[in-house]
Amino acid sequence: MAKKALLVGCNYSGTKAELKGCVNDVKRMYSCLTDRFRFPEENITVMIDTDDRFKEPTGANIRRALTALVEGAESGDVLFFHYSGHGVRLPAESGDEDDTGYDECIVPTDMNLITDDDFSEFIEKVPSDCIFTIVSDSCHSGGLIEKSKEQIGESSMNRNEEREVEFGGEQKKEGRFGFRDLLSETVHDAFESRGIRLPSRHGHQHQSEYNEEKTEEVLNYRGGKTKNRSLPLSTLIEILKQKTGRQDIDVGKIRPTLFDMFGEDASPKVKKFVKVLFTKLQSNDDEGGFLGTIGNLAQQFLKQKLDSDDSSEYVKPAMQTNVSSTHEVYAGSTKKGIPHTGVLVSGCQSDQTSADANPTGNPDNAYGALSNAIQTILSEHDGPVANRELVIKAREILKKQGFTQRPGLYCTDWHADAPFICD
């Protein structure tokens, strides 16, 4: 039996998305794995963006490391993945009226997003008799999976809860994050990305949906100052503009922009999205309505590339990607659960943010609220701590400290009462 780990910390230093505690989280977890859980140092891959001695946590590097971690696993191995950094919710861009969900993503330093569907494809490769524990100290991390059993948390309830809404005089059932929520979210972010501030939307939706304060804003909690680890779409778009030098990037063009920037190294789901858009262009399939307009922005962007002389090479990475159905590219439509041997500890619920705290004002003392709670709990227990106990205690600690985020636990009943990581 081997113990192997991948630890990723993104501080995004020097950018508008800058955080302070993510690399510290990784350093503390590294010491915990080697000292407490006896992971061999040579079996731990560390990716941080503050030290050139370590590989940078770009999208391509993280994907390669995750692939190596799971594909190199053998019977009985213990696998561990810890991500500390930004999360982002990417709204639908296809232009199809039934594409009304979100892709929850983790945010590598180069903005080459890794979606929840991509993540599911990685963890499906884990051998059935391995234990794979995932800690995601990022925003919206409760949305990284949907079909695994939610032992502790409210993300499944939030997503599956139905309500009666009226469309054109007709009563229809809609999930809590439905068409109108998506429309409002997309319109708001479209204006925000152009530097136009709209009034708060707090008046007509659930309060928990509005923990997504801007990352540049400093928030107060009982221990000092904190930023959150949610990357607003307006900030993502601004960074993409800076990286590309283009000013035409907007909501509706994010996925094509990511494909344009990263090509073969782009998210598999992004490549599937571009392939479907290209197919729609060829068939002149144009959707109506506001969402159709957003989809058309992406189509126009792509059409300019397809009209160029090297268009065949440009679209090659997308066209070589297998898409079994159009629904594979829809935000929120194809999410799968982690394997029955997997355990996910999320920093918060799908509609919440996770805190990046800096209680003393010294970056050396900054941390992620969940990561710090885990280290606190483990330091207080000499013996094993069950996954369920860990998350319950983490919730208690964060509540006492004044944080509003609620960590979650996703796994089978057996693993809920099994020790965190391993004996």
Is 86 a known active-site residue?
A: yes
Task: Show the tokens assigned to 163.
Answer: 């309500």
Cβ atoms within 10 Å of 342's Cβ, excluding its own:
23
**Nearest in space to 327 (alpha carbons), one of 286, 272, 263:** 272
Annotated active-site residue in 10, 105, 139, 348: 139
pLDDT tens over the chain, length 423 residues: 899 999 999 999 999 999 999 999 999 999 999 999 999 999 999 999 999 999 999 999 999 999 999 999 998 999 999 999 999 989 888 777 778 788 889 999 999 999 988 887 887 888 888 989 999 999 887 656 555 677 887 766 544 443 333 333 444 343 333 333 434 444 444 444 444 444 443 333 333 333 334 444 455 556 667 899 999 999 999 999 999 999 989 888 999 999 999 999 999 999 999 988 887 776 765 554 444 555 666 777 777 777 777 788 888 999 999 988 888 888 876 655 555 778 899 999 888 889 999 988 899 999 999 999 999 999 999 899 999 999 999 999 999 999 999 999 988 888 899 999 986
Question: How far is Cα of residue 210 from the mean position of the Cα atoms in its chain?
Answer: 17
With beta carbons less than 8 A apart as the criterion, state whether 295 and 91 touch. no
- pLDDT score recorded for residue 116: 86
For residues 77 and 128, give the distance between their C-alpha atoms in angstroms, rounded to a whole number: 10
**Nearest in space to 261 (alpha carbons), one of 276, 274, 251, 278:** 274
Task: Show the tokens assigned to 421.
Answer: 């990581």
List the chain domain ranges. 3-91+103-161+335-416, 168-220+231-329
Class of domain 3-91+103-161+335-416: alpha beta
- pLDDT score recorded for residue 67: 94
Is 340 a known active-site residue?
A: no
- pLDDT score recorded for residue 193: 40
- pLDDT score recorded for residue 235: 94
Residue count (the chain): 423
The DSSP code sequence of 225-255 is EEEESB--HHHHHHHHHHHH--S---TTSHH
For residues 42 and 374, give the distance between their C-alpha atoms in angstroms, rounded to a whole number: 23
- pLDDT score recorded for residue 53: 95
- pLDDT score recorded for residue 334: 62
For residues 346 and 139, give the distance between their C-alpha atoms in angstroms, rounded to a whole number: 9
Position 318: which residue type?
A
Annotated active-site residue in 10, 22, 82, 86: 86
